[in-house]
Amino acid sequence: MTEKIIRKILEDATKGASGSIIITRPLNEVVDYAKVWPELSLVAETSAPFPLTCYFIRHAKEGYIAAIVVMDSGLYWYLPASYRKPEALAAPLRTVILPHLLQHKPIQRLTLSKAELGERGYQFGKQVAAGFQMAREETGVCRYVADAMSFKDVAYIRGMDTGIAPERITSIKTELGNVAHSMERLKIELELKSGISVLSEDLGDIAKSVNNVCERL
């Protein structure tokens, strides 16, 4: 995961740009949880599966000021230089992000490499790593781990429902209708070309389920 990708995701989230698809859920007044599909020009630059799991940190007056991307191999972050203070990440990470993240997985790792981050970034990361336990320190590399049991006494973080605008509900219905139409068309193509099969019947069942969801929205 590169700084370029995270910076672009943060810019898209801050400006509401159309490049990346970003769906957010506020966890509190400071942190939003998000699923992100980066714009196509960035997809080839990472092997990470999509959607990406992200957290955005918000400044009361200036909107999002930082983004953290979660991967099995570690956490990756970006802050503009004007907000690059360890506590800007460390406090939300310790009090909200790690507790929320570890509600859904048993363990999270973090690796800091001086060769990749440079001396300043390496020391910055060591200050940010509050909430993690040092697993191993080698020359120029620190490996941290956080486990769910460390946060077992923290209250469950559900997040806040923000609702969906009526016009967005209408567009969701349209998208689902198009999906159902495509599946029905593919079902018919399979049946006419290869005969009725379990696969074609499954496609028909999925199309009906999608149509039912449309009717309930």
Question: What pLDDT is recorded for position 101?
Answer: 95
For 113-140, how does the pLDDT look when each residue is reduced to its tens digit (9 = 90+)?
A: 999 999 999 999 999 998 899 999 888 9
Q: What is the rounded radius of gyration, in angstroms, for the C-alpha atoms of the chain?
A: 21
Q: Is the pLDDT of residue 59 over 90?
A: no
Collapsing DSSP to helix, strand or coil, 205 comes out as helix
Question: What pLDDT is recorded for position 18?
Answer: 66
Structure tokens at 32: 């939003």
Q: How many angstroms separate the CA atoms of 202 and 175, rounded? A: 20
DSSP 148: G
Over residues 10-24, the mean pLDDT reads 85
pTM confidence score: 0.89
Question: What pLDDT is recorded for position 44?
Answer: 66
32, burial (CB in 10 Å: exposed 0-12, middle 13-18, buried 19+)? buried
Q: 24 to each of 37, 46, 163, how far by Cα in Å? A: 12, 22, 11
Structure tokens at 29: 């007044």
β-pairing, 74-78 vs 63-71, is antiparallel
Q: Is the pLDDT of residue 38 over 80?
A: yes
Q: Is the pLDDT of residue 92 over 90?
A: yes
118, burial (CB in 10 Å: exposed 0-12, middle 13-18, buried 19+)? exposed
pLDDT, the chain, mean: 90
| Identity of the amino acid at 105 | K
Of the listed ranges 6-10, 48-52, 80-84, 113-117, the least confidently predicted one is 48-52
Q: How many angstroms separate the CA atoms of 115 and 126, rounded? A: 14
Residues 6+ away with beta carbon under 8 Å from 216 = none
Peptide bond into 99 cis (omega under 30): no
Ramachandran region, residue 108 (left: φ > 0; alpha: ψ -120 to 50; beta: rest): beta
Helices (H), the chain: 3-15, 40-43, 86-92, 98-101, 114-128, 166-194, 198-216
Pair 122, 112: CB distance under 8 Å: yes
For 162-213, how does the pLDDT look when each residue is reduced to its tens digit (9 = 90+)?
A: 999 999 999 999 999 999 999 999 999 999 998 888 888 999 999 999 999 9
Q: Is the dihedral of CA 73, 79, 81, 84 positive or negative?
A: negative
Q: Is the pLDDT of residue 86 over 90?
A: no
Q: Is the pLDDT of residue 17 over 70?
A: no
